[in-house]
Amino acid sequence: MQSQINLSELYKSDELFLKDLKKVTNLIKKYHKYEGHLFDNGDILYEFLTFDTKVSRNLERLYLYAHINSDLDLKNEKYQGYYGKVINLFNELTEKTSFVIPEILSNDYSLFEEYLKENPKLKEYKLNIKNIFKEKKLIKSKEEERIISILSSTYQRPEEISELLINTDLDYGFIKDENGKGVHLTNSNYSTYLESTNRDIRKNVFDKLYNEFKKHENTFGAILATEVMNNNKIAKIRNFKSARSLSLFHNDVKDSIYDNLITGVTKNLPIFYKFYELKKKILGITDFHIYDTFASLTKEYNKKYTFEEAKNIILDSLNVMGKDYLNVLKKAFANNWIDSRIFDSKRSGAYCTCAYDTHPYVVCSFEGKLNDISTIAHELGHAMHYYYAQTNQAYQNYNYSIFVAEVASQVNEIILTDYILKNSNDKEEKKYLLDQILQRFKATIVRQTMFAEYEDKIHTLEANGEVLTKDVLTSEYFKLNQKYFGKGVNVDEQIKYECFRIPHFYYNFYVYQYATGYAAAIKIADMLINKKKGALENYIKFLSLGSTKDPVSSLKVAGVDMMDCKLYDDVFKVFEKRLSELRSLYE
């Protein structure tokens, strides 16, 4: 029996939704009366902030109701219309509130502190105001900001153009699958065939894909170089020493976090190389190439589970989280916070979303596979992060930083997998799970760190006056592949064109967070699994913080010091332990 979501806590009927939609539409029209008066006195400022919070909270509920209903039935024109109306309201809100930040920043923070003494209620918004003033160092003159705003749409062009080229214009040709059937190779299905147990297929798709990129290397080189120049120029305009520093500043993260990641992973690469040595041995390949590193060691584990079985496995595995955490999870299943149904008109994929005034919601498609159980556990990790932040923080402080956004979800997945491994007597299941763990470590820690180092390298080269020709871009990427794959892998020349395929390279400095977030999750999960003293209490505190601490300080509460390079030593020890377990199964 699948789980069907219950949205009545948002709105009991469409009529109530439409009534609220009309109310918020009218409220948004009232913003103009505050323009030019925000800092007249403390009472006016508090009145505005309370009004703005009311509008935002209501709009959040409206969005969630329309968004989820729309995703549950993409053919339902009524809900598509509702969703469109809410998006229009968001756009109108952005327009009507465009005066707010400039008006606040036209004053000094000291004036807010004076108003705070006069009206202690303003303390509710102190963190928000402080964060706005933190951005003041970025703000230029009114005319300069107007010019930057006008040009901002052009900054996104490299991302848009590269996406069109990669997914629409390039023709990767045809391949034959495991059954000898002709298949049109695309950027989307490439990774599926690269993991094939048939080596000829792996080599064929690898060659076909990157030979097509090679044909367009001059165009891609120009696009990527433009993206890097854009980022560096914006950083210069904003008076930052680098594009990386500007990007990290927005996330309240120091440059040393980025450097620690690269240093910590580089130091431990010899441990990681052992994975390829074992893989080479298991696959029986002496001449081991990059396209072989992606091969699955086992066939997909096809055991099927009912939704009820999945629920029990998740609850049993997350028992280490304590009674309170577990009771909320039970409520999530019992009260239909989850929609796991499968039907044609439902949007694919999985996500967790939340409105402050209701519980979190999870949308997914459950087919009964092991990966589906993992997906639900992952999304429930997000749900619990939302839940604890909602329960313990005011509306304006409950949303946490993107830097820690994937930690709670990954912690749940890691604990679930550990539980299944410990309770399984099926050797093939264990092989499959361990292979998945190691492949994920490769994809998230090692590969994303390589991406992060490359991104930093090409931005630094351009900032120092180097002309980023397609040869410079591809040669730097090739050298990093040699470093991260090691001497035990033949680094095929075609891999240098992969730098044009990675979508994150066309918007700046995001990928490092995949690696740091997963490293933090491994450390936290390891402490929870081994019942380290204080680990559970500290983790629940972390989940409860919302945005009341910067992300690095938040993780420190959970027992993870992102400033300490030793973190990556600990993370690679966990990897080595799993690698040893897989080796023993084959020996």
- What is the rounded distance in angstroms from the CA atom of residue 166 to the CA atom of residue 498? 11
| Partners of 362 in beta bridges | 338, 352
Reply yes or no on whether 379 is catalytic.
yes
Q: Please count the residues of the chain.
A: 587
Would you state the structure tokens that stand for residue 114, as one six-digit string? 């004076």
Tokens found for residue 64: 């969630």
How far apart CA 519 and CA 515 sit, in angstroms, is: 6
Nearest to 11 by CA among 80, 60, 76: 60
- What residue type is assigned to position 325 of the chain? Y
Q: How far apart are CA 434 and CA 33, in angstroms?
A: 61
- Give the whole-angstrom CA distance, residue 285 versus residue 366: 36
Cα 185 to Cα 187: distance, rounded to the nearest angstrom: 7
Which residues of 238-319 form beta strands (DSSP E)?
none
Of 60, 227, 379, 462, the active-site residue reads 379
CA dihedral 571, 572, 577, 579 (to 10 degrees): 130
Whole-number Å distance between alpha carbons of 179 and 79? 42
Nearest CA to 63 among 4, 23, 10?
Answer: 10
Cα–Cα distance, 139 to 454 (Å, whole number): 29
Instruction: Count Cβ atoms within 10 A of the Cβ of residue 291 and give its class: 0-12 exposed, 13-18 middle, 19 or more buried.
Output: buried
Q: At what angle do helices 566-586 and 427-441 cross, to 10 degrees?
A: 150
Computed on alpha carbons and rounded to an integer, the radius of gyration of the chain in Å comes to 25
Residues annotated as part of the active site = 379
